[in-house]
Chains A and B, each alone.
Chain A
Amino acid sequence: MAARHSDSDEDLVSYGTGLEPLEEGERPKKPIPLQDQTVRDEKGRYKRFHGAFSGGFSAGYFNTVGSKEGWTPSTFVSSRQNRADKSVLGPEDFMDEEDLSEFGIAPKAIVTTDDFASKTKDRIREKARQLAAATAPIPGATLLDDFVTPAKLSVGFELLRKMGWKEGQGVGPRVKRRPRRQKPDPGVKIYGCALPPGGSEGSEDEDDDYLPDNVTFAPKDVTPVDFTPKDNVHGLAYKGLDPHQALFGTSGERFDLFSGASEGAGSLLGDVGLSKGRKLGISGQAFGVGALEEEDDDIYATETLSKYDTVLKDEEPGDGLYGWTAPRQYKSQKESEKDLRYVGKILDGFSLASKPLSSKKIYPPPQLPRDYRPVHYFRPVVAASSENAHLLQVLSESAGKAAHDPGTHSRHQLNASKRAELLGETPMKGSATSVLEFLSQKDKERIKEVKQATDLKAAQLKARSLAQSALSSGPQPSPPDAGRSSWHLPPGAGAATTRASNFRPFAKDPEKQKRYEEFLVHMKQGQKDALDRCLDPSMTEWERGRERDEFARAALLYAPSRSTLSSRFTHAKEEDDSDQVEVPRDQENDVGDKQSAVKMKMFGKLTRDTFEWHPDKLLCKRFNVPDPYPDSTLVGLPRVKRDKYSVFNFLTLPETAALPTTQTQSEKVPQLQGPDKSRKPSRWDTSKQEKKEDSISEFLSLARSKVGPPKQESSPLVSKEKECMPESLSDKVASKGVDPQAEGGGGRPSMDLFKAIFASSSDEKSSSSEDEQGGSEDDQEVTGEADLQGPQETDLGEPPPVAQALEPAAPQEPAPPLAPSFPIQKMQIDEREEFGPRLPPVFCPNARQKLEEPQKEKHRKNKEKHKTKKEHKRKKEKKKKHRKHKHKSKQKNKKPERSSSSESSDSSDSQSDEEGAGDVSPGELLRRLKCLPLRRQ
């Protein structure tokens, strides 16, 4: 077996290291991603690619040196025999292995080969020679060979030789001796060795030799030595940041101590101006890169200030001639050089330029006159669009400028947008010429109407004042410039005023506004003396001058700003101050007709309203239905604008007048009492009223009289909080309950009733709910709450009709045990508002419990306990609730009421059966009645 195995091994040739066979169920390992791959040395340390001497400080064993014990001085040798024999320490003794390795600073692995090493001998050849010497007839003959053999030179020597270098010469271009002859200025002492090459003192002895002119000499073979004494504590060759260089950019220049010293510190700053053209830069190095620093690749890069922008500007012109406000010579030149080929349509009157735009010449700024004051007066500048071309013209004329000829060519009357139109460009959205273009047609018409109306009014005013003035100034001489009174324009001309007149800057003064509008009209017509003509001739000169100024300014302000402003603003989504409000276009109307139709059971056309309704696009998509109105952005019913403050917008439902039944006084009471008129009328109110009033109206009044003053006191508070039918409802409920009492006096309720009531309440609150809900009190509370919700909602909604109250189960007299539930109901009323059909009450959730024969008293006790408990919890819950302060105060007001009611209910337990209808207190009565729905089965 093994043999066979080895045989097969011999046959196969395998390359590389085989993968370890996978274990059963083991997943193949994923290759380690690149960022997680690490390099470690043989000791398991993270390997850096340089040692301590080449920039890293992560030397040694966990940042100690080399070993766990730390740095052990290698001089110390503990044995007696070999005392410190190695005392001379080279730098290698302090180096890490990394430094000595292949990539360290002192690699030991690589040795220069013989070819490149100088004066080392070929061993093979040497051996051969020795052999030859041994076999030579004359022993020792190789000695001669040793003498004779030319020394092997390194490649560098050979290269230099080929370039014409000879031994003994210096390296560099050949020089003439002559320039070196001139002696340095004796007045200037030179320290240091940084003189032009070859300028050493030793060359002076050769000065006297004869030197032909055309002979050059090789430089002397001198190793340049820097004799600068090291007087600082920096490391070797460390060059700190030179502030002078860094800030003022005199890089490359040595800071000349002696020349600079004479000029003093002032010259330092003076240098700044001189060195402006040079590149600013920082050279030198500040600190090395620490071991813990991540980025160390660029440690020796010099940071120059030229990399940074020191001034906000486009590009430095280069020669410093122009400041940043100067014309951009460079730019314009570049642009002109670009060959722009225009490919669009060419308008009439325009032709394509044959030669590129000539580069602009830059002239030096003019010499300022002597009396120049550096304060600028801004002349009104009018953009030369077609609309305000007249304005521009008039203004320039009235300002005394020479009128420029408005050329006869049509192209001069084109403005940008018109040209764009002709060229077929799509107009830019934002820059409509006028705000008015955003208005709908309807709005435009409206504006027009308003304008005409005001014009008419103004004209009437004018006429009146004219008549007056005519009367008064009859004998007087006509004003000097009567010819200017040509502002008698027909009222229709007012409609032709410019759009700018829609901005009514002088709206407060209709006369003035009128004059202003006329001024605009004149200006449109291009009349030169527009300003003068429209002014009231009866005004004083001062007034006139002032008004002229105002008009001109207003025209400027209101006319040209339109286009510029319109591009910056968007339309408001809603008009916030308009008197209009959006209401659905179609309303469901004439409910009276419909009601009668329903009465006659004529459903169909009479009762149906059909509206256009736009579903949301997304909704259509979700329903997989094509959008019925693909082009409309409308959602819902189409809306129209109506007057905001019209009552009819909010009368959405039939008023009580629409009801077929006549209403008695009693049912109007709730409406009168309802404090919040704006609430949505609930259908409950109306239908309920119509149903029940007749039979119980007397009881309503009875109950109300019994409720008495305290109830009325509390009612405003309550009614404020509950929006829906505050007091009146409870009154109604009261009356409902009184009804059975008064009618029958009623026998005792059947046992079933009590069973049902008590069984439901007790089992739900004590046993069953605890079992199911883990006995947590919250859950109990919830169920209890839910339990009572039905009756509570009853109070808010429509009280059941009388017929219902007369049901067999109902007419028993109010069950006293139920009374304690009142406070809770009350609170729920406060908390919530209800519309619509209520949810049915729940009172027998567990059928099993009902089967038990209940002990009446026991249950009653249970009930009481639970009620009080619940109430207690309720209060706690209330407290917990985060409420606003005003609610709190209301709540406080209610609390005493609540507690009193619970007390009274407790007391009433004992005497309840004996109590007649007349004996119960109104509050008690009310409470019982509220519980009425609970008893109904």
Chain B
Amino acid sequence: MAFPEPKPRGPELPQKRLKTLDCGQGAVRAVRFNVDGNYCLTCGSDKTLKLWNPLRGTLLRTYSGHGYEVLDAAGSFDNSNLCSGGGDKAVVLWDVASGQVVRKFRGHAGKVNTVQFNEEATVILSGSIDSSIRCWDCRSRRPEPVQTLDEAKDGISSVKVSDHEVLAGSVDGRVRRYDLRMGQLFSDYVGSPITCTCFSRDGQCTLVSSLDSTLRLLDKDTGELLGEYTGHKNQEYKLDCCLSERDTHVVSCSEDGKVFFWDLVEGSLALALPVGRGVVQSLAYHPTEPCLLTAVGGSVHCWREEAYETEGGAG
């Protein structure tokens, strides 16, 4: 396993608070970057979804149409559509520009924890606490999902999609990877309920966080443990984790109000960034730059590296 060379991390890690977005939509359940990292989505517990420019701190649009709190959202590759899922058990496809609901997919029996577009935004995959992942077709007008992946024995907490794989973490303590190309399902047992999974950017590894306050880096192909990251606190809440923009660091929320950074290779704690009081509910890492969004309570903070200078004094 050839991992990218670890960079000098001091200036690389986002630790300068650049902006604070007061979202004003109750609790921010999730914050997500769009595909190129210029905008972000915040999912509020007041049934709204908001689109921001996080660097400037401007609210661009509010999407309302959910019947209950919004739990996750994702943007399509061409920034034309959004999808979101929430406590109203519905998965909603939005038109970015008009703010209108394009389609509403109903079928989940429980609240929808996580939604993802596939690479071409033709399918929405949604994971729900009803222990199923449903694949909704955005192209046809079919009201029922293309396929339902109901192999999980407990709620789905996280779904990630690559070009031919679906990675799903479930509360039953397993990470399942559905490989469409091979037509196989790989199920890795972790034991503790999974809160978040993600692919590494090189597509070789999967990062798994679970409720035993541990993050594990697993080899995607064999399921072997490549690294373990501890020190943070994640014992009851569904918290996000991710990898930094160049796979150099593992980033995770923590219940003690910090965001933890570990060196991916060494597994050593690189930084514990105090974000705020309370639980850091969600985070999102910029796809190309050291920029981090964290959601604590009702506000979202945007973090950049120390050396970062705001361009043009954007207010």
State the A residues within 8 Å of B (CB). 584, 588, 591, 594-595, 597-598, 601-605, 607-616, 618-620, 622-629, 635-637, 652-653, 680, 682-684, 687, 756, 760, 764, 768-769, 772-773, 779, 782-783, 786-787, 789-790, 794, 797-798, 800-801, 804, 833-847, 937
Contacts and interface: CB of A to CB of B under 8 A. Distances in A.
Contacts of A798: 211, 235-236
A127 B235 CA distance: 129
19 contacts: A594-B191, A603-B224, A610-B185, A610-B187, A636-B149, A680-B154, A682-B154, A773-B46, A779-B46, A782-B45, A798-B236, A836-B129, A837-B211, A837-B238, A838-B236, A838-B238, A840-B278, A840-B280, A842-B298
Contact of A588 (B27, B45, B189): B189
Contacts of B26: 764, 782-783, 786-787, 842, 845
Interface string B217-246: 011001111001000000111110000000
B123 interface: yes
A604 B147 contact: no
A787 B123 contact: no
Contacts of B225: 601-604
A846 B298 CA distance: 7
A880 to B, nearest CB: 14
Given A588-B174, A622-B139, A623-B180, A843 B123 contact: no
B185 A637 contact: yes
Contacts, number: 249
A169 B90 CA distance: 99
B182 interface: yes
Contacts of B46: 773, 779, 782-783, 786
A772 B299 CA distance: 14
Contacts of A800: 235-236
Given A614-B183, A622-B122, A845-B27, 10 more contacts: A584-B151, A622-B135, A623-B119, A623-B180, A626-B181, A682-B171, A798-B235, A839-B29, A839-B281, A845-B297
Nearest to A618: B146
A20 to B, nearest CB: 42
Interface string B46-81: 110000000000000000000001010000000000
A781 to B, nearest CB: 10
B126 interface: no
A770 B71 CA distance: 23
A786 B69 contact: yes
A610 B238 CA distance: 27
A839 B118 contact: no
A845 B26 CA distance: 7
Contact of A680 (B131, B163, B298): B131
B184 interface: yes
A636 B147 contact: yes
Contacts of A635: 147
Given A603-B224, A845-B298, A623 B163 contact: yes
By CB atoms of chain B within 10 A, which of A687, A756, A837, A847 has the most?
A837
Interface in B134-156: 135, 137, 139, 146-151, 153-155
Contacts of B155: 835-836
A620 B172 contact: no
A625 B164 contact: yes
Interface of B: 20, 22-24, 26-27, 29, 45-47, 69, 71, 110, 113, 118-120, 122-123, 129, 131, 135, 137, 139, 146-151, 153-155, 157, 163-164, 171-174, 178-193, 195, 211, 216, 218-219, 222-225, 228, 235-239, 255, 257, 276-281, 296-299
Contacts of A844: 276-278, 296-298
Contacts of B239: 837, 840
Contact of A608 (B147, B173, B187, B211): B187
B147 A603 contact: no
A204 to B, nearest CB: 92
Contact of A683 (B135, B172, B219): B172
A726 to B, nearest CB: 18
A779 B46 CA distance: 7
A623 B182 CA distance: 13
B70 to A, nearest CB: 11
Given A782-B47, A835-B171, A937-B277, A684 B193 contact: yes
A608 B174 CA distance: 9
Contact of B238 (A612, A636, A836): A836
A937 B257 contact: yes
Contacts of A597: 189
A636 B184 CA distance: 10
The 7 A-B residue pairs whose C-beta atoms are closest, nearest first, are A845-B298, A628-B183, A786-B45, A842-B27, A837-B238, A840-B279, A836-B155
Contact of A624 (B120, B191, B195): B120
Contacts of A847: 20, 22, 299
Given A588-B187, A603-B225, A628 B129 contact: no
A787 B193 contact: no
A605 B155 CA distance: 25
A622 B236 contact: no
Contacts of B298: 764, 842, 844-846
* Most chain B CB atoms below 10 A, which of A602, A608, A833, A835: A835
Nearest to B162: A623
Contacts of A804: 235
B178 A615 contact: yes
B28 to A, nearest CB: 8
A607 B189 contact: yes
A623 B297 contact: no
A837 B193 contact: yes
Given A601-B228, A683-B193, A610 B184 contact: yes
Contact of B146 (A603, A616, A687): A616
B24 A683 contact: no
Nearest to B140: A618
B27 to A, nearest CB: 3
B277 A756 contact: yes
A839 B27 contact: yes
A333 B29 CA distance: 84
Contacts of B211: 687, 798, 837
A798 B223 CA distance: 28
B153 A680 contact: yes
Contacts of B184: 610-613, 628
Contacts of B299: 845-847
Contacts of A801: 235
A619 B180 contact: yes
Contacts of B139: 622
A837 B237 contact: yes
A800 B155 CA distance: 19
Given A594-B189, A619-B147, A844-B298, A612 B183 contact: yes
A594 to B, nearest CB: 4
Nearest to B151: A637
B153 A622 contact: no
A545 to B, nearest CB: 60
B153 A842 contact: no
A838 B193 CA distance: 11
Given A603-B188, A837-B237, A839-B237, A619 B153 contact: no
Contacts of A783: 26, 45-46
A622 B186 contact: no
Contacts of A614: 183
A828 B120 CA distance: 39
A610 B157 CA distance: 21
Contacts of B276: 844
Contacts of A622: 118, 120, 122-123, 135, 137, 139, 146
Contacts of B147: 615-616, 618-619, 635-636
Contacts of B281: 839-840
B255 to A, nearest CB: 7
Contacts of B149: 636
Contact of A603 (B22, B123, B216, B236): B216
